[in-house]
Amino acid sequence: MFRGNSRQGFRVTTPLPTPPADAASIAERWQGVRHAERDFRTIDSLQAIPEEETAFAVWLEDDALLVLIRAEITATGSVRPGAKDGDPEDIPRNDSLEIMLDPAHNHRDYLRLQWDSSGARVASRRSVMQFALRCDRVQEDEPIEPDAWSLKSEVGDDAWYSLVRIPLDLIGWQSADDLLTCGFNIVQRRYVGRYLVETSWNPLRGESQSPWDFGELLAAGTPCRVAGFDFGEVYHDWNQLQLEVENLAAEPQEVTAEIRAWCEGHESRDSAKIALSANGSEQAQLRFELDSREWRYQEIELTLSVDGEVSYRSHFSAGHNPRHGGAIIVLKHGVRWFEGEPPARPEPSDPDFQPKLRRWILGRLPDFPEMGWWGGAKGDWILRDRRGSNLEFNLLSPTILDELGDMIAGLFDSDEERVIAACFLAHRLVIYSPTGARVQAMLSPLASLRQGATICSGFTEVQHAILS
């Protein structure tokens, strides 16, 4: 499954209600910070607490967002390089700090501001789309002029201090009241001896430049937040979002969670009222339908409201692949029904014959999980029907293509239905991966099926092999 279809344990913060008073130095101003975010973790599978502490505070002014950071340097007593004029191209080789801000909270577009202790700095508007394979990453940068934001940096005996001022118009806000929900993270890169130690405020296992893995900056006084969610596998059909909502208030309240999914000519909505105890959390489910006719790009928006006022907003996009669709959630062929009977075979006279025929064929096919070298249980190449039919196929069997073809022949009566079913099955078992399938020209249909990642021609070859 795409690593981003679910999220748990991400951190949140809010701007300081009272900013620290101005002072002669940044270090002195830090002394006035009443509450700071701490507990940075290493960017790796261990997510360990580093030897040196990094902490920060955020607050809003009438025309800017300010971030004050204190980074300990006790391990070496200095920063790399020393406090001297530097070149922005040298930043990756120096100790550095980086702020990432996703103002639209769409998990795709964000501001990145990076600097080192010498005052060298660089910034850009970055757009990132990434699916199941890390190599299938689409990244675009639009440089930001240095004078569009300001930085003050100060190195002391035991810490390096930075004060960053980001104008609201650079973020895209008209006023400080525009802050609702914003993706946010801070990353530090520190050379201790020969080793690079990378740490972040929101825990990361690897890639720091993925907006899906940012924490959240919420407006001060936000009454509730999303503590976790899981989209599962997202189909061109009905889907269900599992949601955990946390009450940030000291008294009980009722929260309305709403999901909206849409593309041109299609819209689906669902909502649920969630009763929360004081500082408590509850689970909820929201269902939404994605249009089976649109494979490139579909929008999904999640909101939380209290007393009719939206207090939380999160935006997602679903598509067939990041390069063609510009999406962040992989959209697959499949069908779900939550109650009642499976989809019935439609009559040709039905005005909705084509979409209903699609649902019926997908409902007849087994619901196999994604497989191949990047998916499925490691070391397990068995296709198992998740609908409980006890159908199993071994992808390593030399006759797997014949076995799948025989299954389709037994499930459908006409050749037309069998061709459609083989097409859907090929797209169910294999993902579209422009980068991961560069070896496609050297693979047989059987190898493409086992690899589980291909491009357009690979789907056709797998489909033809099953039908043959």
Evaluate whether residue 1 is within a structural domain: no
| Burial call 100-121: b when 16+ CB within 10 Å, e when fewer | bbbbbbbbbbbbbbbbbbbebb
Same domain, yes or no: 243 and 214: no
Domain of residue 303, residue span:
224-332
Q: What pLDDT, on a 0 to 100 scale, did the predictor assign at position 1?
A: 31
Six-digit token string for 348: 């040709």
The 10s digit of each residue's pLDDT in 18-47 is: 999 999 999 999 999 999 999 999 998 889
Same domain, yes or no: 309 and 394: no
Check whether 216 has a pLDDT greater than 90.
yes
Evaluate whether residue 417 is within a structural domain: yes
Burial class of residue 230 in the structure, from the number of CB atoms within 10 Å of its CB (0-12 exposed, 13-18 middle, 19+ buried): middle
Q: What pLDDT, on a 0 to 100 scale, did the predictor assign at position 164?
A: 98
Same domain, yes or no: 10 and 158: yes
Between CA 90 and CA 427 the distance in angstroms is: 45
More confident of the two residues 307 and 323: 307
Same domain, yes or no: 265 and 136: no
Evaluate whether residue 346 is within a structural domain: no
Q: Going by C-beta distance under 8 Å and a sequence separation of 6 or more, which residues neighbour residue 406?
A: none
For 322-335, what is the mean pLDDT? 77
What CATH number corresponds to the domain at position 105?
Answer: 2.60.40.1190
Q: Report phi then psi at 284, rounded to 5.
A: -150, 160
More confident of the two residues 389 and 181: 181
For 235-240, what is the mean pLDDT? 94
Same domain, yes or no: 197 and 236: no
For 379-394, what is the mean pLDDT? 86
What CATH number corresponds to the domain at position 302?
Answer: 2.60.40.10
Q: What pLDDT, on a 0 to 100 scale, did the predictor assign at position 132?
A: 55
Evaluate whether residue 17 is within a structural domain: yes
Six-digit token string for 420: 């459609």
Q: Going by C-beta distance under 8 Å and a sequence separation of 6 or more, which residues neighbour residue 283?
A: 242, 243, 244
Check whether 382 has a pLDDT greater than 90.
no
For 327-351, what is the mean pLDDT? 90
Six-digit token string for 262: 């849409």
- Cite the DSSP H helix spans in 185-314: none
Beta-bridged to residue 130, according to DSSP, are 137
Q: Going by C-beta distance under 8 Å and a sequence separation of 6 or more, which residues neighbour residue 42?
A: 48, 49, 50, 197, 198, 199
Same domain, yes or no: 40 and 93: yes
pLDDT above 90 coverage of the chain, percent: 66
**DSSP 8-state secondary structure symbol assigned to residue 147:** G
Same domain, yes or no: 184 and 243: no
Neighbouring CB atoms inside 10 A of 237's CB total 22
- What's the predicted TM-score (pTM) here? 0.90
Same domain, yes or no: 174 and 257: no
Q: Report phi then psi at 305, rounded to 5.
A: -130, 145
Residue for token pair 């391990």: 75
The 10s digit of each residue's pLDDT in 388-423 is: 888 999 988 999 999 999 999 999 999 999 999 999
Q: What pLDDT, on a 0 to 100 scale, did the predictor assign at position 372?
A: 52
Check whether 67 has a pLDDT greater than 80.
yes
Answer whether 260's CB lies under 8 Å from 301's CB: yes
DSSP letters for 268-310: EEEEEEEEE-TT-EEEEEEEEE--TT--S-EEEEEEEEETTEE
Q: How confident is the model at residue 99 (pLDDT cuts 50, 70, 90)?
A: very high
**Average pLDDT of the residues of the chain:** 90
Q: How confident is the model at residue 3 (pLDDT cuts 50, 70, 90)?
A: very low
Evaluate whether residue 430 is within a structural domain: yes
Q: What pLDDT, on a 0 to 100 scale, did the predictor assign at position 376?
A: 47
Between CA 268 and CA 287 the distance in angstroms is: 9
Same domain, yes or no: 254 and 359: no
Evaluate whether residue 338 is within a structural domain: no
Same domain, yes or no: 297 and 374: no
Same domain, yes or no: 247 and 206: no
Same domain, yes or no: 250 and 197: no
Structural domains counted in the chain: 3
Evaluate whether residue 25 is within a structural domain: yes
Evaluate whether residue 455 is within a structural domain: yes
The 10s digit of each residue's pLDDT in 439-451 is: 666 778 888 888 7
